Amino acid sequence: MTDINKASKVKLNRKGKDFIILVDPNKALEFKKGKLKDIREALVADTIFKDVAKAEKASEHDMQNLFKTEDIYQVAEIILKQGKLELTTGQKNKEREELKKRITSIIARNAVDPRTGLPHPLQRIESAMEEAKVNIQEGKEAEEQVNDIVSQLAPVLPIKFEKRRIEIIIPSSFAGQSFRILKNYSDVIKNEYLGDGSLRAVVEIAAGMQDEFFSELNKLCHGQVESKLLEKL
């Protein structure tokens, strides 16, 4: 168990009353991300505090009134999910880097250089983020920030989000196996089997994923894939 002196606090205020738990900072972060299921593994003390410095416990009456339960673990779970976790400096730096990587990856997979129609390499996007001094907001999901960050990148990196609607014909011997790739990389708009057993599908795919998508399809079908660009969206 984590030394109580190295524990992090998580505080949640409800109707002017503070409810605090002491947690292992790493396990608490895993719990918030859904990687840890049992709240008890993250707790350092099986106590809901009102004031940690004074070792003052929250009253059962207040818990029942504000959380509809007196169960310590149910209340602790709510506090950890909804309250503010005090991260260590190391955790903050790691979280910041992971968030930046997620944002960069989303941009690389969904955006293209409008001059060439090709996706930007990750390194180019990272360099542009540094040059543009983009503002990454901690505590906000990567997906929520992407559009704003692309706008911040525009002065230093020609970039736009683009989807493509493509018609694909796959030989009958590979048709069944191909569905996994189609669904993993694209939205299948419609599909039908032709007279010779081959599969005709119309898909929508993020422009940045197109090369990887066709690489996987051609690997499966040994290059026997026919395709036609129908529309840029």
Count of domains observed in the chain: 3
Q: Which amino acid makes up residue 23?
A: V
Work out the average pLDDT over 136-146. 86
Is a pLDDT exceeding 60 seen at residue 2?
no
30-50: average pLDDT = 92
Q: Do 102 and 110 meet the contact criterion of CB atoms below 8 Å apart?
A: no
Contact 226, 169 (CB under 8 A): yes
Whether 168 and 153 map to the same domain: the answer is: no
pLDDT at 5: 67
CATH number of the domain that residue 145 is part of: 1.10.10.900
Burial of 159 (0-12, 13-18, 19+ CB in 10 A): buried
Q: Do 146 and 178 fall into the same domain?
A: no
Q: Which domain holds residue 126?
A: 89-160
Domain boundary among 136, 160, 184: 160
* Residues 196 and 167 reside in one and the same domain: yes
Give pLDDT, residue 233.
82
Per-residue pLDDT for 4 more than 80? no
- pLDDT tens-place string over residues 84-120: 888 778 878 888 899 999 999 999 988 899 999 888 9
**Last-in-domain residue among 132, 160, 188:** 160
Handedness of CA 141, 143, 144, 150 (dihedral sign): positive
* Assigned token pair, 51: 């004031």
Q: Which residues of 80-89 are buried (b: 16+ CB within 10 A; e: fewer)?
A: beebebebee
Report the CATH number at residue 175: 3.30.70.240
Q: What is the mean pLDDT of residues 185-211?
A: 93
Q: Do 14 and 64 lie in a common domain?
A: yes
Please provide the average confidence, as pLDDT, over all residues in the chain. 91
Residue 25's pLDDT band (cuts 50, 70, 90):
confident
